[in-house]
Copies of this chain bind each other. A is one copy, B any other.
Amino acid sequence: MTTTGKQIFSTLADGKLTVEVAETAFPDPTGNQVLVKLEAAPINPSDLAILTGAADLENAEYSPGKFVAAMPEPFNSAQKGRHGQRLPAGNEGAGTVVAAGESDSAQSLIGQRVACVPGAAYSQYCIADAAMCLPLGDLSSEEGASAFVNPMTALGFVETARMEGQGAIIHTAAASNLGQMLVRICQEDGIPLVNIVRKAGHVDLLSGLGAAHIVNSSDQDFMDQLREAIEATGAYLGFDPIGGGRMVDDCFKAMEQVAVKKMTEYSRYGSDQAKKMYIYGRLDFGPTILTPSYGFGWTLSGWLLTPFLQMAGMDTVMRMRQRVLDGLTSTFASAYKRKVTLEEMLTREAVLDYRAMKTGEKYLVTPHA
């Protein structure tokens, strides 16, 4: 009694990225696996690495349920490891468990609506690990679709700050879905948060959520605003989803300038205030530029959810998941601009729109609609 259904696959071969809907047979779940009938899956920036990457989507060939796009260099060569492989896409989603492996925990989920993290959520069905499934109770699949990536990342920033003994946080590109969650988490936990946005409209958006420290990088006096906010909050730890360009550099500079102002004696090595920034995304694929203007007391690091969760340990992860579940329609609620089927998701209009990753314009895929 094999289950079949439609699924999206992404293949990079001979400099061309082919993404298409294909009929697939799903294996029966075994052990601790469950088979989920997926009803909703968000398109997050992190999904675009597999789905579109740096492909030339403007000039791609679009046909029903399929597009073929050129992948420019150096991005084509940089992904040598996936050449020729047919990869599933979609980190997370929600749906109903329709079959389960022999384990008790898998069996107990049969018939329940769950959020899951299969890495293959742009599909009508997926195999998921029961241990990673979050039973949604009365919540809808749409409400539970984004229960993992953004909520756990935003909570992960707060956990990271605590582990490193930091009492305040800087967040760049702060008007994002994730950024709005972080505003609410930090309000609940009493953690001062410096929100860096790049548009007046985003200032209004976060003001509306009650954010206390909002800095607009498009303003002439951006650096003054940033220094003031750092001075007011004591934030020497930041998270940045942009990656390329000078935003990380600006944050380090402002941190150092605030710290130096408090020094009583000049040091050629700069302040002894430790400054730390994490890059957790790549909205800008350009190089990160670091200028020699803040001494040697700084650390820049990549931040990824999965290694963080492994490092944090099961107790912390379970506590974080429970908090997400409790706040899924409030603190961790996601809003969507548009719902698309698997086929609609691969049209030129949709691809060019969600690939732009505009603030507040998230897509939700509904594979059975």
Contacts and interface: CB of A to CB of B under 8 A. Distances in A.
Interface of A: 46, 49-50, 74, 78, 81-82, 85, 87, 243-244, 249, 260, 263, 266-269, 272, 279-280, 282, 285, 287-293, 295-304, 306-307
Nearest to A263: B81
Contacts of A260: 81
Nearest to A304: B296
A290 B281 CA distance: 14
B300 A299 contact: yes
B292 A297 contact: no
A243 B87 contact: no
A296 B268 contact: no
Given A289-B289, A290-B287, A82 B49 contact: no
A279 B296 contact: yes
Contacts of A249: 287
A243 B288 CA distance: 14
A293 B78 contact: yes
Contacts of A49: 268-269
Contacts of A267: 81
A302 B291 contact: no
Contacts of A78: 293
A96 B217 CA distance: 56
Given A269-B304, A307-B272, A290 B288 contact: yes
